[in-house]
Homo-oligomer: A and B are copies of this chain.
Amino acid sequence: MSKDPAIQRMEKIVSLCKRRGFIFQSSEIYGGLNGFWDYGPLGVELKRNLKDFWWRRNVRERDDMVGMDGSIIMNRAVWKASGHEDTFSDPMVDCRSCKSRHRADQLPVKDGLKYCPNCGSRDLTEPRAFNLMFKSFAGPIESDENLVYLRPETAQAIFVQFKNVLETSRQKLPFGIAQIGKAFRNEINPRNYTFRSREFEQMEIEYFCRAEDGLRLTDYWLEERLRFYEDIGIPRSKIHVHDIPDDERAFYSKKTYDLEYEFPFGVSELEGIAYRTDYDLSRHIEHSGKPLEYFDEETKQKFVPHVVEPSAGVDRTALALLCEAFDEEIVVGENGKSETRTVLRFHPRMAPVKCGIFPLLKNKPELVAKAREIATALRPFMTVFYDEGGAIGRRYRRQDEAGTPFGVTVDFETIGENGPEKKDTVTLRHRDSMKQERVSIADLKGRLLEAIA
Protein backbone atom coordinates (compact mmCIF):
# COMPACT_ATOMS: atom_id res chain seq x y z
CA MET A 1 0.00 0.00 0.00
CA SER A 2 1.48 3.31 -1.02
CA LYS A 3 1.63 6.22 1.37
CA ASP A 4 -0.55 9.30 1.23
CA PRO A 5 1.32 11.74 -1.08
CA ALA A 6 0.78 14.59 1.41
CA ILE A 7 2.46 12.55 4.15
CA GLN A 8 5.29 11.66 1.76
CA ARG A 9 5.71 15.32 0.92
CA MET A 10 5.85 16.28 4.59
CA GLU A 11 8.45 13.58 5.24
CA LYS A 12 10.59 14.98 2.44
CA ILE A 13 10.34 18.50 3.86
CA VAL A 14 11.32 17.29 7.34
CA SER A 15 14.24 15.37 5.88
CA LEU A 16 15.43 18.37 3.86
CA CYS A 17 15.16 20.63 6.92
CA LYS A 18 17.47 18.35 8.88
CA ARG A 19 19.86 17.63 6.01
CA ARG A 20 20.34 21.28 5.04
CA GLY A 21 20.34 22.81 8.52
CA PHE A 22 16.96 24.49 8.76
CA ILE A 23 15.59 22.67 11.79
CA PHE A 24 17.06 20.18 14.28
CA GLN A 25 15.53 18.42 17.25
CA SER A 26 16.47 20.28 20.43
CA SER A 27 19.12 18.37 22.44
CA GLU A 28 19.22 15.76 19.68
CA ILE A 29 22.39 14.06 20.96
CA TYR A 30 20.54 13.35 24.22
CA GLY A 31 17.49 11.88 22.51
CA GLY A 32 15.76 15.22 21.95
CA LEU A 33 12.95 16.71 24.00
CA ASN A 34 9.34 16.36 22.92
CA GLY A 35 7.96 19.66 21.64
CA PHE A 36 11.23 21.62 21.42
CA TRP A 37 13.17 22.51 18.26
CA ASP A 38 16.36 24.31 17.28
CA TYR A 39 16.93 26.33 14.13
CA GLY A 40 20.18 25.70 12.26
CA PRO A 41 22.17 28.10 10.04
CA LEU A 42 19.56 28.30 7.26
CA GLY A 43 16.59 28.16 9.61
CA VAL A 44 17.75 31.05 11.74
CA GLU A 45 18.18 33.25 8.64
CA LEU A 46 14.72 32.29 7.36
CA LYS A 47 13.18 33.24 10.70
CA ARG A 48 15.18 36.49 10.82
CA ASN A 49 13.97 37.48 7.35
CA LEU A 50 10.39 36.73 8.34
CA LYS A 51 10.55 38.63 11.64
CA ASP A 52 12.43 41.58 10.15
CA PHE A 53 9.94 41.96 7.32
CA TRP A 54 7.02 41.73 9.75
CA TRP A 55 8.62 44.45 11.91
CA ARG A 56 9.42 46.62 8.93
CA ARG A 57 5.90 46.36 7.47
CA ASN A 58 4.03 46.69 10.76
CA VAL A 59 6.21 48.95 12.88
CA ARG A 60 8.81 50.91 10.94
CA GLU A 61 6.71 51.72 7.89
CA ARG A 62 3.66 52.79 9.92
CA ASP A 63 3.34 55.96 11.94
CA ASP A 64 0.52 54.49 14.02
CA MET A 65 2.50 51.59 15.48
CA VAL A 66 5.28 51.26 18.07
CA GLY A 67 7.11 48.19 19.32
CA MET A 68 7.91 46.76 22.70
CA ASP A 69 9.68 43.72 24.16
CA GLY A 70 8.35 42.33 27.42
CA SER A 71 9.83 39.73 29.72
CA ILE A 72 8.79 36.09 29.40
CA ILE A 73 8.32 35.78 33.15
CA MET A 74 5.84 38.30 34.57
CA ASN A 75 4.11 38.84 37.87
CA ARG A 76 1.64 36.02 38.51
CA ALA A 77 -1.11 38.60 39.03
CA VAL A 78 -1.07 39.22 35.25
CA TRP A 79 -2.28 35.65 34.64
CA LYS A 80 -4.86 35.82 37.36
CA ALA A 81 -6.30 38.95 35.77
CA SER A 82 -6.18 37.60 32.23
CA GLY A 83 -7.98 34.44 33.28
CA HIS A 84 -5.14 32.11 32.27
CA GLU A 85 -4.51 30.83 35.78
CA ASP A 86 -8.09 29.68 36.11
CA THR A 87 -9.05 28.60 32.65
CA PHE A 88 -6.05 28.01 30.37
CA SER A 89 -6.28 24.25 30.64
CA ASP A 90 -7.03 20.92 28.96
CA PRO A 91 -9.09 18.16 30.62
CA MET A 92 -6.86 15.32 31.83
CA VAL A 93 -7.42 11.91 33.35
CA ASP A 94 -4.98 9.80 35.37
CA CYS A 95 -4.76 6.04 35.05
CA ARG A 96 -4.96 4.64 38.60
CA SER A 97 -3.30 1.47 37.43
CA CYS A 98 -0.09 2.69 35.73
CA LYS A 99 -0.14 6.35 36.92
CA SER A 100 0.12 7.74 33.40
CA ARG A 101 -1.77 10.92 32.43
CA HIS A 102 -3.74 11.61 29.24
CA ARG A 103 -6.00 14.15 27.60
CA ALA A 104 -9.58 13.14 28.38
CA ASP A 105 -10.82 13.95 24.90
CA GLN A 106 -8.17 11.79 23.23
CA LEU A 107 -8.62 8.50 25.14
CA PRO A 108 -9.18 5.36 23.06
CA VAL A 109 -12.56 3.62 23.42
CA LYS A 110 -13.42 -0.10 23.37
CA ASP A 111 -16.90 -1.59 23.83
CA GLY A 112 -18.16 1.94 24.60
CA LEU A 113 -15.69 2.44 27.47
CA LYS A 114 -12.56 4.55 27.59
CA TYR A 115 -9.29 2.87 28.52
CA CYS A 116 -5.68 3.80 29.24
CA PRO A 117 -3.59 3.82 26.03
CA ASN A 118 -0.56 2.92 28.12
CA CYS A 119 -1.66 -0.19 30.08
CA GLY A 120 -5.21 -0.83 28.87
CA SER A 121 -6.78 -0.35 32.32
CA ARG A 122 -10.23 1.19 32.63
CA ASP A 123 -9.53 2.41 36.15
CA LEU A 124 -9.34 6.10 35.23
CA THR A 125 -9.97 9.21 37.31
CA GLU A 126 -12.61 11.77 36.40
CA PRO A 127 -11.28 14.47 34.03
CA ARG A 128 -9.48 17.30 35.79
CA ALA A 129 -8.30 20.61 34.36
CA PHE A 130 -4.58 20.62 33.61
CA ASN A 131 -3.15 24.11 33.24
CA LEU A 132 -0.97 24.53 30.15
CA MET A 133 1.30 27.19 31.62
CA PHE A 134 4.84 26.19 32.57
CA LYS A 135 5.39 26.91 36.26
CA SER A 136 8.56 27.97 38.00
CA PHE A 137 9.71 29.90 41.05
CA ALA A 138 11.49 33.25 41.04
CA GLY A 139 13.52 33.72 44.18
CA PRO A 140 15.28 31.34 46.51
CA ILE A 141 12.21 29.61 48.03
CA GLU A 142 9.69 27.42 46.21
CA SER A 143 6.71 29.06 47.86
CA ASP A 144 3.30 30.02 46.56
CA GLU A 145 4.44 33.63 46.86
CA ASN A 146 7.33 33.03 44.46
CA LEU A 147 5.33 31.03 41.90
CA VAL A 148 5.68 32.38 38.35
CA TYR A 149 4.62 31.21 34.91
CA LEU A 150 6.34 31.33 31.56
CA ARG A 151 4.00 33.46 29.47
CA PRO A 152 1.66 31.39 27.26
CA GLU A 153 1.24 34.39 24.91
CA THR A 154 3.01 37.70 24.35
CA ALA A 155 -0.21 39.75 24.29
CA GLN A 156 -0.60 40.35 28.03
CA ALA A 157 2.73 42.19 28.25
CA ILE A 158 1.27 44.72 25.84
CA PHE A 159 -1.93 45.19 27.82
CA VAL A 160 -0.19 45.68 31.16
CA GLN A 161 2.21 48.23 29.61
CA PHE A 162 -0.52 50.01 27.66
CA LYS A 163 -0.41 53.13 29.83
CA ASN A 164 3.39 53.39 29.88
CA VAL A 165 3.58 53.03 26.11
CA LEU A 166 0.72 55.47 25.54
CA GLU A 167 2.34 58.10 27.75
CA THR A 168 5.83 57.79 26.27
CA SER A 169 4.98 57.37 22.60
CA ARG A 170 2.51 60.29 22.24
CA GLN A 171 0.24 58.17 20.04
CA LYS A 172 -3.45 58.84 19.55
CA LEU A 173 -6.23 56.33 18.80
CA PRO A 174 -6.23 54.33 16.69
CA PHE A 175 -2.68 53.04 17.21
CA GLY A 176 -0.98 49.74 17.78
CA ILE A 177 1.72 48.12 19.89
CA ALA A 178 3.68 45.30 18.27
CA GLN A 179 5.82 42.61 19.85
CA ILE A 180 7.82 39.58 18.75
CA GLY A 181 8.84 37.09 21.37
CA LYS A 182 8.77 33.59 22.78
CA ALA A 183 5.87 31.96 24.58
CA PHE A 184 5.45 28.53 26.15
CA ARG A 185 2.58 26.08 26.41
CA ASN A 186 2.90 22.73 28.09
CA GLU A 187 1.02 20.89 25.32
CA ILE A 188 0.13 17.32 26.19
CA ASN A 189 0.62 16.20 22.60
CA PRO A 190 3.12 18.32 20.67
CA ARG A 191 2.72 17.34 17.03
CA ASN A 192 3.04 18.09 13.33
CA TYR A 193 6.75 18.91 13.45
CA THR A 194 7.26 22.52 14.60
CA PHE A 195 3.57 23.35 14.15
CA ARG A 196 2.46 22.56 17.69
CA SER A 197 5.48 22.83 19.95
CA ARG A 198 5.85 23.69 23.60
CA GLU A 199 8.20 26.61 23.01
CA PHE A 200 7.34 28.94 20.15
CA GLU A 201 7.61 32.51 18.96
CA GLN A 202 4.78 34.93 18.30
CA MET A 203 4.42 38.14 16.30
CA GLU A 204 1.54 40.03 17.84
CA ILE A 205 -0.14 43.38 17.36
CA GLU A 206 -2.63 44.94 19.73
CA TYR A 207 -4.33 47.66 17.74
CA PHE A 208 -6.24 50.00 20.06
CA CYS A 209 -9.25 51.92 18.80
CA ARG A 210 -12.63 53.41 19.63
CA ALA A 211 -15.49 50.95 20.11
CA GLU A 212 -17.26 52.17 16.98
CA ASP A 213 -14.20 51.37 14.82
CA GLY A 214 -13.60 47.82 16.09
CA LEU A 215 -15.44 45.82 13.45
CA ARG A 216 -14.21 47.90 10.54
CA LEU A 217 -10.59 47.69 11.75
CA THR A 218 -10.87 43.93 12.16
CA ASP A 219 -11.67 43.70 8.46
CA TYR A 220 -8.90 46.18 7.70
CA TRP A 221 -6.36 43.99 9.51
CA LEU A 222 -7.61 40.88 7.74
CA GLU A 223 -6.75 42.52 4.41
CA GLU A 224 -3.42 43.82 5.71
CA ARG A 225 -2.38 40.40 6.93
CA LEU A 226 -3.42 38.62 3.74
CA ARG A 227 -1.33 41.13 1.82
CA PHE A 228 1.59 40.39 4.14
CA TYR A 229 1.42 36.67 3.41
CA GLU A 230 1.29 37.38 -0.31
CA ASP A 231 4.36 39.59 0.05
CA ILE A 232 6.35 36.76 1.62
CA GLY A 233 5.32 34.24 -1.01
CA ILE A 234 2.17 32.59 0.36
CA PRO A 235 -0.59 33.22 -2.17
CA ARG A 236 -4.04 34.28 -1.02
CA SER A 237 -5.50 31.17 -2.62
CA LYS A 238 -3.64 28.94 -0.15
CA ILE A 239 -4.99 30.76 2.90
CA HIS A 240 -8.43 29.83 4.18
CA VAL A 241 -10.14 32.62 6.05
CA HIS A 242 -12.38 31.17 8.70
CA ASP A 243 -14.94 33.62 10.07
CA ILE A 244 -15.56 32.09 13.50
CA PRO A 245 -19.30 31.83 14.17
CA ASP A 246 -20.88 33.54 17.18
CA ASP A 247 -21.20 30.41 19.30
CA GLU A 248 -17.57 29.37 18.82
CA ARG A 249 -15.86 32.66 19.60
CA ALA A 250 -14.57 33.64 23.03
CA PHE A 251 -17.47 35.37 24.82
CA TYR A 252 -15.72 38.76 24.77
CA SER A 253 -14.89 38.70 21.06
CA LYS A 254 -17.24 40.35 18.60
CA LYS A 255 -15.42 39.03 15.55
CA THR A 256 -12.61 36.56 14.99
CA TYR A 257 -10.95 35.42 11.79
CA ASP A 258 -8.66 32.43 11.68
CA LEU A 259 -6.18 32.42 8.81
CA GLU A 260 -5.38 28.84 7.95
CA TYR A 261 -2.77 27.47 5.59
CA GLU A 262 -2.93 24.24 3.59
CA PHE A 263 -0.15 22.35 5.31
CA PRO A 264 0.57 18.82 4.02
CA PHE A 265 -0.77 17.51 7.35
CA GLY A 266 -4.00 19.44 6.95
CA VAL A 267 -5.45 22.94 6.88
CA SER A 268 -4.19 24.53 10.10
CA GLU A 269 -4.11 27.92 11.78
CA LEU A 270 -1.36 30.41 10.97
CA GLU A 271 -2.83 33.48 12.55
CA GLY A 272 -5.88 34.67 14.44
CA ILE A 273 -7.32 38.15 14.08
CA ALA A 274 -9.57 38.76 17.05
CA TYR A 275 -11.61 41.80 17.90
CA ARG A 276 -11.33 41.47 21.69
CA THR A 277 -13.40 44.57 22.58
CA ASP A 278 -12.30 46.20 25.85
CA TYR A 279 -12.09 42.89 27.69
CA ASP A 280 -8.35 42.73 28.39
CA LEU A 281 -7.78 46.31 29.49
CA SER A 282 -10.94 46.18 31.63
CA ARG A 283 -9.73 43.03 33.40
CA HIS A 284 -6.40 44.69 34.18
CA ILE A 285 -8.11 47.88 35.38
CA GLU A 286 -10.24 45.76 37.68
CA HIS A 287 -7.39 43.61 39.01
CA SER A 288 -4.63 46.20 39.27
CA GLY A 289 -6.80 49.13 40.35
CA LYS A 290 -4.78 51.27 37.93
CA PRO A 291 -6.36 53.71 35.47
CA LEU A 292 -5.66 52.33 31.99
CA GLU A 293 -8.24 54.55 30.30
CA TYR A 294 -7.56 56.70 27.28
CA PHE A 295 -8.22 60.41 27.47
CA ASP A 296 -9.44 62.02 24.28
CA GLU A 297 -8.06 65.55 24.19
CA GLU A 298 -10.59 66.71 21.63
CA THR A 299 -13.83 65.35 23.08
CA LYS A 300 -12.55 65.46 26.70
CA GLN A 301 -13.87 61.91 27.12
CA LYS A 302 -12.18 59.16 29.09
CA PHE A 303 -12.83 55.56 28.06
CA VAL A 304 -11.34 52.09 27.82
CA PRO A 305 -10.12 51.50 24.25
CA HIS A 306 -11.19 48.47 22.28
CA VAL A 307 -8.56 46.31 20.63
CA VAL A 308 -8.05 44.26 17.49
CA GLU A 309 -5.38 41.56 17.79
CA PRO A 310 -3.63 40.10 14.73
CA SER A 311 -1.55 37.32 16.30
CA ALA A 312 0.73 35.17 14.14
CA GLY A 313 3.14 32.34 14.88
CA VAL A 314 6.74 32.74 13.74
CA ASP A 315 7.45 29.01 13.68
CA ARG A 316 4.18 28.19 11.92
CA THR A 317 4.75 30.84 9.29
CA ALA A 318 8.34 29.65 8.78
CA LEU A 319 6.99 26.11 8.36
CA ALA A 320 4.38 27.38 5.89
CA LEU A 321 7.17 29.12 3.94
CA LEU A 322 9.08 25.84 3.79
CA CYS A 323 6.03 23.82 2.75
CA GLU A 324 5.02 26.39 0.13
CA ALA A 325 8.56 26.61 -1.24
CA PHE A 326 9.28 22.89 -1.44
CA ASP A 327 9.20 21.52 -4.97
CA GLU A 328 10.57 18.60 -6.95
CA GLU A 329 10.77 18.58 -10.70
CA ILE A 330 12.20 16.32 -13.36
CA VAL A 331 14.98 18.02 -15.28
CA VAL A 332 17.61 16.90 -17.74
CA GLY A 333 20.97 16.74 -16.00
CA GLU A 334 24.39 17.56 -17.37
CA ASN A 335 24.88 13.94 -18.38
CA GLY A 336 21.74 14.12 -20.55
CA LYS A 337 19.73 11.90 -18.25
CA SER A 338 16.62 13.05 -16.49
CA GLU A 339 16.88 13.56 -12.74
CA THR A 340 14.86 15.00 -9.90
CA ARG A 341 15.69 18.56 -8.91
CA THR A 342 14.73 19.54 -5.35
CA VAL A 343 14.21 23.26 -5.02
CA LEU A 344 12.90 25.59 -2.33
CA ARG A 345 11.14 28.35 -4.24
CA PHE A 346 11.30 30.97 -1.47
CA HIS A 347 10.37 34.53 -2.22
CA PRO A 348 13.80 36.20 -2.61
CA ARG A 349 13.08 38.42 0.40
CA MET A 350 12.60 35.34 2.63
CA ALA A 351 15.46 33.23 1.23
CA PRO A 352 18.12 32.53 3.91
CA VAL A 353 20.94 32.98 1.40
CA LYS A 354 20.41 35.51 -1.36
CA CYS A 355 23.22 34.62 -3.71
CA GLY A 356 25.63 31.73 -4.27
CA ILE A 357 29.02 32.75 -5.66
CA PHE A 358 31.05 30.24 -7.60
CA PRO A 359 34.42 30.33 -9.33
CA LEU A 360 34.12 27.96 -12.28
CA LEU A 361 37.29 26.13 -11.21
CA LYS A 362 38.88 26.09 -7.79
CA ASN A 363 42.42 25.55 -9.03
CA LYS A 364 42.51 28.70 -11.13
CA PRO A 365 43.65 31.49 -8.77
CA GLU A 366 42.29 34.37 -10.91
CA LEU A 367 38.80 32.86 -10.86
CA VAL A 368 38.93 32.26 -7.12
CA ALA A 369 40.24 35.74 -6.39
CA LYS A 370 37.58 37.42 -8.52
CA ALA A 371 34.78 35.30 -7.01
CA ARG A 372 35.96 36.08 -3.49
CA GLU A 373 36.14 39.76 -4.37
CA ILE A 374 32.51 39.72 -5.52
CA ALA A 375 31.43 37.86 -2.37
CA THR A 376 33.18 40.42 -0.17
CA ALA A 377 31.58 43.30 -2.04
CA LEU A 378 28.07 41.87 -1.65
CA ARG A 379 28.33 40.72 1.97
CA PRO A 380 27.60 44.06 3.66
CA PHE A 381 24.24 44.08 1.84
CA MET A 382 23.02 40.48 1.86
CA THR A 383 23.78 36.93 2.97
CA VAL A 384 25.92 35.22 0.34
CA PHE A 385 27.44 31.76 0.13
CA TYR A 386 30.80 31.20 -1.49
CA ASP A 387 31.31 27.68 -2.84
CA GLU A 388 34.20 26.39 -4.89
CA GLY A 389 33.72 22.65 -4.40
CA GLY A 390 32.54 20.22 -7.09
CA ALA A 391 31.06 20.51 -10.56
CA ILE A 392 29.21 23.76 -11.17
CA GLY A 393 25.96 21.88 -11.79
CA ARG A 394 26.21 20.24 -8.39
CA ARG A 395 26.88 23.57 -6.74
CA TYR A 396 23.76 25.03 -8.39
CA ARG A 397 21.70 22.09 -7.13
CA ARG A 398 22.96 22.54 -3.59
CA GLN A 399 21.80 26.15 -3.64
CA ASP A 400 18.47 25.17 -5.21
CA GLU A 401 17.88 22.93 -2.23
CA ALA A 402 18.73 25.76 0.16
CA GLY A 403 16.34 28.08 -1.68
CA THR A 404 19.01 30.54 -2.85
CA PRO A 405 17.35 32.60 -5.60
CA PHE A 406 20.51 33.64 -7.45
CA GLY A 407 23.81 32.10 -8.46
CA VAL A 408 26.80 34.01 -9.79
CA THR A 409 29.49 32.15 -11.68
CA VAL A 410 32.90 33.61 -12.36
CA ASP A 411 34.36 32.08 -15.51
CA PHE A 412 37.09 32.68 -18.06
CA GLU A 413 35.11 35.41 -19.75
CA THR A 414 34.90 37.27 -16.44
CA ILE A 415 38.67 37.51 -16.19
CA GLY A 416 39.04 38.51 -19.85
CA GLU A 417 40.51 35.28 -21.18
CA ASN A 418 38.00 35.18 -24.04
CA GLY A 419 38.71 38.74 -25.05
CA PRO A 420 37.90 42.15 -23.59
CA GLU A 421 34.26 42.14 -24.66
CA LYS A 422 32.84 40.08 -21.80
CA LYS A 423 35.49 41.00 -19.23
CA ASP A 424 33.99 41.84 -15.84
CA THR A 425 30.74 40.11 -16.60
CA VAL A 426 29.42 37.04 -14.78
CA THR A 427 26.76 34.42 -15.31
CA LEU A 428 23.68 35.20 -13.23
CA ARG A 429 21.63 32.05 -12.80
CA HIS A 430 17.99 32.13 -11.67
CA ARG A 431 16.89 29.39 -9.29
CA ASP A 432 13.31 28.94 -10.45
CA SER A 433 13.74 29.01 -14.22
CA MET A 434 17.37 27.85 -14.18
CA LYS A 435 17.87 30.47 -16.89
CA GLN A 436 21.24 32.11 -17.12
CA GLU A 437 22.11 35.58 -18.30
CA ARG A 438 25.26 37.62 -18.65
CA VAL A 439 25.45 40.55 -16.23
CA SER A 440 28.23 43.06 -15.68
CA ILE A 441 29.73 42.98 -12.19
CA ALA A 442 28.97 46.68 -11.86
CA ASP A 443 25.23 46.03 -12.23
CA LEU A 444 25.12 42.97 -9.99
CA LYS A 445 24.55 44.55 -6.60
CA GLY A 446 21.73 46.76 -7.87
CA ARG A 447 20.00 43.87 -9.62
CA LEU A 448 20.12 41.67 -6.53
CA LEU A 449 19.11 44.39 -4.07
CA GLU A 450 16.07 45.20 -6.15
CA ALA A 451 14.99 41.56 -6.20
CA ILE A 452 15.32 40.99 -2.45
CA ALA A 453 13.93 44.35 -1.22
User: Which of A's residues lie within 8 Å of B, judged by CB?
Assistant: 18-21, 24, 26-45, 47-48, 55-56, 60-61, 63, 66-75, 77-78, 81, 92, 101-102, 130, 134-141, 148, 150, 157, 160-161, 163-165, 168-170, 177, 179, 182, 184, 186, 188, 198-199, 284, 287-288, 290, 292, 375, 379-380, 382-383, 386-387, 389
Q: Does B29 lie within 8 Å of A284, measured CB to CB?
A: yes
Q: Does A38 lie within 8 Å of B68, measured CB to CB?
A: yes
Q: Does A41 lie within 8 Å of B168, measured CB to CB?
A: yes
State how many angstroms separate the Cβ of A92 from the closest Cβ of chain B.
6
Q: Does A33 lie within 8 Å of B138, measured CB to CB?
A: yes
6 sampled A-B residue pairs with Cβ under 8 A: A27-B160, A33-B73, A37-B71, A43-B69, A139-B188, A170-B387
Q: Does A70 lie within 8 Å of B38, measured CB to CB?
A: yes
Q: State A199–B380 Cα separation when bound (angstroms).
A: 32
State how many angstroms separate the Cβ of A256 from the closest Cβ of chain B.
27
Q: Which residues of B contact A81 (CB under 8 A)?
A: 30
| CB-contact partner of A60 in B63, B75, B383, B386, under 8 A | B383
Copies of the polypeptide in the assembly: 2
Closest to A45 in B: B67
A68 with B92, Cβ < 8 A, contacts A29-B160, A160-B28, A186-B139 known: no
Residue among A33, A78, A198, A380 with most chain B CB within 10 A: A33
Q: Which residues of B contact A21 (CB under 8 A)?
A: 66, 164-165, 168-169
Q: State A37–B71 Cα separation when bound (angstroms).
A: 6
Q: State A148–B386 Cα separation when bound (angstroms).
A: 40
Q: Which residues of B contact A19 (CB under 8 A)?
A: 168
A72 with B182, Cβ < 8 A, contacts A41-B169, A45-B67 known: yes
Q: State A139–B139 Cα separation when bound (angstroms).
A: 23
Q: Which residues of B contact A387 (CB under 8 A)?
A: 170
Q: Pick the 3 closest A-B CB pairs, nearest first.
A: A21-B168, A27-B75, A41-B66
Q: Which residues of B contact A55 (CB under 8 A)?
A: 48
Closest to A357 in B: B63
| CB-contact partner of A138 in B35, B70, B380, under 8 A | B35
Q: Which residues of B contact A73 (CB under 8 A)?
A: 26, 33, 36, 134, 184, 198-199
A379 with B61, Cβ < 8 A, contacts A71-B38, A138-B35, A182-B72 known: yes
A375 with B63, Cβ < 8 A, contacts A73-B198, A139-B186 known: yes
Residue among A29, A130, A184, A389 with most chain B CB within 10 A: A29
Q: Does B77 lie within 8 Å of A38, measured CB to CB?
A: no
Q: Which residues of B contact A38 (CB under 8 A)?
A: 68-71, 157, 161
List 15 additional A-B contacts (Cβ < 8 Å) besides A47-B69, A60-B379, A60-B380: A21-B66, A24-B164, A27-B78, A29-B288, A29-B290, A30-B81, A33-B148, A38-B161, A39-B68, A43-B68, A56-B380, A61-B379, A63-B375, A134-B138, A140-B188
Closest to A156 in B: B27
Q: Which residues of B contact A24 (CB under 8 A)?
A: 161, 164
Q: Does A40 lie within 8 Å of B186, measured CB to CB?
A: no
Closest to A35 in B: B138
Q: State A56–B39 Cα separation when bound (angstroms).
A: 18
Q: State A22–B67 Cα separation when bound (angstroms).
A: 11
Q: Does B71 lie within 8 Å of A26, measured CB to CB?
A: yes
Q: Which residues of B contact A184 (CB under 8 A)?
A: 73
